[in-house]
Amino acid sequence: KAGVTQTPRYLIKTRGQQVTLSCSPISGHRSVSWYQQTPGQGLQFLFEYFSETQRNKGNFPGRFSGRQFSNSRSEMNVSTLELGDSALYLCASSSLTGGYDQETQYFGPGTRLLVL
């Protein structure tokens, strides 16, 4: 099976712009989670989608939003970019067939966003 894919891999934007990142989960996986990773804060949870419904949301401002499509592909959007949004954005998918407690998350390679 192909792994989790994320596009684009690298992105440079300027302050005030908006950006959309895309994630294609492993075939058959219906749960997709998004994370922001920075050197100072480590990995921080953004949101989780399951079957097109947002199931959990982290402590990020409303400028961060996401959605999931019927084919389980997911997008996240960041509006009015700030310098502090520069980070590696990771997407992870899981099948949940083993139960929510034990599911393994499979991460994509991430999208590195630089805001100038």
Partner 1 sequence: KNQVEQSPQSLIILEGKNCTLQCNYTVSPFSNLRWYKQDTGRGPVSLTIMTFSENTKSNGRYTATLDADTKQSSLHITASQLSDSASYICVVKRGNTPLVFGKGTRLSVIA
Residues that bind partner 1 (CB under 8 A): 4, 33, 35, 41-45, 48, 56, 58, 90, 92, 100-102, 104-110
**Which two tokens mark 85?**
């949004």
Is the Cβ–Cβ distance between 7 and 74 less than 8 Å? no
Helices within the chain (DSSP H only): none
Nearer to partner 1, 19 or 92 (CB): 92
Q: State the nearest-atom distance from the C-beta of 31 to partner 1, in Å.
A: 11
Sequence-separated (6 or more) residues with CB below 8 Å from residue 102: none
CA distance 73 to 90: 14
Nearer to partner 1, 22 or 44 (CB): 44
Q: State the nearest-atom distance from the C-beta of 16 to partner 1, in Å.
A: 28
Q: State the nearest-atom distance from the C-beta of 110 to partner 1, in Å.
A: 6
